[in-house]
Each structure stands twice: as structure tokens, then as C-alpha cells.
Structure 1
Amino acid sequence: MTTDAEKAREFYKGLFEWTFAIGGPESGHYAMANLGNDHVAGLGQIGPEMKMPPAWSVYFASDDLDDTITKVKAAGGNVMMGPMDVMEEGRMAVFTDPTGAVFGVWQPKRHTGAQRIDEPGAMTWYEVNTPDAAKARDFYCSVFDLEPHKMEGGPIEYYTLHKGAKTVGGVLQMTKEWAGVPPHWMAYFAVPNTDAAAKKLTALGGKVSVPAFDTPYGRIAVVNDPTGAVFSIVQLPAKS
């Protein structure tokens, strides 16, 4: 969601080579972002009645949104918005987890989510950054029937979340260096080259908040689009 949809579309078009299918007034001119012919993300305008900053939102899929709402409440989360039908596309609600991070849940109808992932121009990872990783871990595992795995030997407390054999996200313990940063979900987009993408997005009006650094999982930078929404870019390791 953004405070300036036109500016955001131009930025992401230049950075990721996205094209946009913009809906009519009945959808608030919500735009589907496409990579080639495939949906990879969505972009909506923040209305004057919506008290929120520009941000990327992470959505979990659900076969039964009403049941998920019950589980969220039972596990200590709160409903911020919804449930609501989005025309014939699906049904959604927005929540906060017990540590304060905002996330969405989508029960698909016609729209089933991103059609491409784990490649340049598409999302590749999602993690919640929180001051209480254990509480967040237990919440998401309870609501979505996930299995946590603690990563050993790292400098921070970190859990990966799994649905069967699939790894679906992470939980990161925020430390004192994160003072003043609220709990949040971080979306990661894959790029061919992190350093080149950082230069490109700066030229397009974005900002690098955390310069590129190397990890075992790729070279990462934390960045802002021109309207202020935070996301990460990552150059994935070469496949062996």
C-alpha cells in the first residue's frame, strides 16, 4: 500500500520491469503487478481514512478465513480489518500478531496469489522482525499449523517456519540495535545483482537504508521506495 500509486508504479516498473493492470473505481484502482504475463504482487492507494504508512504487506493463504480468525483470536492476535469480500477475487482480513506485527490472510477465489516466486523481479522470502521471537513463533505455528526450526550458531535468534517439506517464512528476534523500529513483516524481492539494483533504485528515487551485505543465503540490502515503503532485495546464491 502506498500514498502515491502513480509514483510507486513508475518506481517498480523501472526497478523490476513490472507492468500493471489497473482496476476500475470499484476496486479503488488497485493494480496487479505483472512480470511478463504473471501476477507477482499488488499495489493499492492508501485512502485518507486509512491511518497507516506506506508498507509492503504479507498475506497467508487460508481455506477458511472465519476459522483462521477464530484461531488468531485464540492465540492472542487481533483483527484490524475485515473480514471482507474483494469482489470475485477472494476474501481477506488484516491482523496484528501478539507482538504487534501486521499481516494479512487471503482466502482465494479467482485470485490465488503470486504466480512466480524465487526469481528476479518476484518475491523470494518473508520474515517477521519482532521483539519477542518466541511469542511470534508460537503464534504463527498455532494459527497456521507450522513447524518451527531454530537456526543454530548465528548472531541472532532466528526460526524458520515450515509447512510439511516447504519453508514458508522466518522469525527474527530484534535486538537493541533495532530500537525505535516497530515489529513488522519484511518482504524480500530477488534481483540479479544487489549492488546494481541498489544503484538503480536510488536513481529511481528510492533509498538504501541498510547497504548490501553478504549472507549464506544471498547478498541483501534493505531499501525504501520513493513513498517510504520498506523492503529487501537479495541476489540469490547460484544454484549448484
Structure 2
Amino acid sequence: MGIVPAGTPCWTDLATPDLDDARRFYPELFGWTGRIAPEPEAGGYTLFLRHGRAVAGAGPPAIPEQVPIWSVYIATDDADLVAGRVEQAGGQLVVPPFDVFDRGRMAVFSDPAGATVSVWQPMTMPGGEVFGVPGAMSWTELVTPDPEGAKTFYELVFGWQPDDQPTGSAGHTGWRLGSRIVAGMTAPLGDFPADSPAYWSVYFGVADVDAAAARAAALGGAILVPPRDVPAGRCTALRDPQGALFHVITPP
């Protein structure tokens, strides 16, 4: 049984070609500690902990040519059932459901616009153990050029209902599951290439966005979008030293 309900983002992890540098960069940025999985087959997969509680992970890329990327996982009670829904709704099953040791069962799929997302059916590892505080995942958002198609797809797969402009931000949609907004969706920026796939983005909470951006740059990362104020708070888009995109945010 997971800590978050089924249909809710529950985990994020990084695929990177330089795992050693990720173990340096992110702990220095967020104050995390790392715990390396003992199984040789795990390839050095590392749990990042905040005050001893799991907040994120990092591991080697699944294939050598994979670009460095943070992935979003949605909690589920049945990964195989979700995989069937994905295909029926017009998505693509990228990695069929499989067991991750005794930790859980997962699958990877892409929506019709190309955004890749994973599902996590917990066993001994519930996913993230703390959310919405500095140093932990605080928000996830789909960036897509086809919001109408996404509304149909994610309702069929997870039962999400679109809630347009839940924070008063034009062009922004909240994904509602029951009474809760569990994630968001927005259109890409104006310079988004027309043939680029959609993607899921992850936001980590910080106490001071401007200080975190400066710290990331000093550690070898890059500021992709300078800190700015939005209805949900103050945020910035960053890249780590290997180029993986992530965001940091401070609520208002």
C-alpha cells in the first residue's frame, strides 16, 4: 500500500549517464543523502533521502542513447490494468509491466502526444515518503501541444478530470482526482518546436528559489528560465550538469 492514493504522482527519478555526479550535485543542492541499492542488477540505483525519508531516485539510463531525464511516476493498485487502459486510449506501452525486485511493479508508457510517464504499484517501496516541503517533490506538470487530446487520454487512464485555471493562471489546467488537484497541464512556450514531443516536468520545493538557482549554477548546472513569480508561487527551470531538466518552486 502506497503513501499516496492511486492516480496520484508518487515518485520521481533521474536517468543519467553520470550517476556519480548526480550523487554530488543534488545532495549539495537540496541537502539530500544517498542510499545505493545493494543488488548488482540495480546498476547503482540511488535513493535520495531527506531527513531519512525517500524523496527521489537516480539510476543509469535504460539505453545508452537515452537523454538525461527526470521521470514522473503515478501510483496505481494494478500496473497491468493501467497498461491495458493506455493502449485502449491510444497511448504506447514503452516498457511493459515488470517487478522491480520486491520493491514494486512498474510500467512506462507515452501518451498520444509523446509525453512519457511511469506507473508504480508499490510492494515494499511505497514511493516518495514526503511531499510538498523544501527538498521534496512538490508539483508535477504535463507540457503538451495537445491539451484536448491529453484531457481525453488521462481521464480514460487515471480517471482525471480537467479543472481549467484552478490557480487563476491562463492556459493552465489542473488534473482533478475526486476533490483533489493532483497535477497540472500547460501549453508549451511560444518557441516550442512544432515536432517536439510533450513531456512531464517535476518541481522540487525550496525555501528560496533565487538562492537555489544561483546554487545550481555554482554547482555546474544551468538556469534555463530565470526565477519568476507565477500564481502557484516563485519558480525557475534548471538543468543539472548532464542536461536533465527540473524545476524548483516556493509557494506564495
TM exceeding 0.5: yes
**Distance in 2 separating the partners of 1:162 and 1:52:** 31
1:33 aligns to 2:30 (yes or no): no
Asked whether the 8 Å contact 2:166–2:174 carries over to 1, the reply is no
Alignment of 1:163-202 (within 5 A): 163-179=177-193, 181-202=196-217
Structure 1 segment 1-240 matched on structure 2, within 5 A = 1-24=15-38, 25-46=40-61, 49-151=63-165, 156-179=170-193, 181-237=196-252
In structure 2, what is the Cα distance between the partners aligned to 1:82 and 1:5? Answer: 25
- TM superposition shift of 1:156: 4.7
Q: Note the alpha carbon deviations across 1:111-149, whole angstroms, 9 max, x for none.
A: 111111100000100011011011112211110011211
Secondary structure of 1:56's aligned partner: strand
SS in 2 for 1:178: coil
Which letter maps to 1:166? R
Cα distance change, pair 65–197 in 1 and its aligned pair in 2 (3 A) = same
In structure 2, what is the Cα distance between the partners aligned to 1:100 and 1:211? 27
Amino acid at match of 2:220: G
Q: Aligned-pair RMSD on alpha carbons?
A: 1.6
Rounded to whole Å, the distance in 2 between the matches of 1:210 and 1:51 is 26
Equivalent-residue separation in structure 2 for 1:230 and 1:116 (angstroms)? 21
In 2, the alpha carbon distance for the partners of 1:206 and 1:233 equals 13
| Structure 2, gaps ≥5 residues long | 1-14
Amino acid at match of 1:163: L
Contact 1:98–1:135 (Cα < 8 Å) also in 2: yes
Shift in Å at residue 168 of structure 1?
A: 0.8
Where does structure 1 differ by over 6 angstroms across 4 or more consecutive aligned residues? 152-155
TM-score computed with the length of structure 1 as normaliser: 0.94
Q: Structure 1 residue 182: deviation in Å?
A: 3.3
Matched residue SS, 1:58? strand
Unaligned regions of 5+ residues in structure 1, if any?
none
| Aligned 8 A contact 2:167 2:232 in 1 | no
1:26 positional shift: 2.4
Q: CA distance change for structure 1 residues 95 and 103 in 2, over 3 Å: closer, same or farther?
A: same
- What letter is aligned with 1:143? V
Query: Normalising by the residue count of structure 2, what TM-score does the alignment of the two structures yield?
Result: 0.89
Distance in 1 (alpha carbons) for counterparts of 2:228 and 2:25? 23
2:151, 2:161 within 8 Å by CA — same for their partners in 1?
Answer: no
SS at match of 1:176: coil
Contact 1:128 1:184 survives alignment (8 Å)? yes
Check conservation: 2:169, 2:231, Cα contact below 8 A.
Answer: no
Distance 1:75 1:173 in 2: 21
Percent identical across equivalent pairs?
40
Instruction: Give the C-alpha shift of residue 64 in structure 1.
Output: 0.9
Q: SS of 1:113's equivalent?
A: coil
- Give distance in 1, aligned partners of 2:169 and 2:134: 28
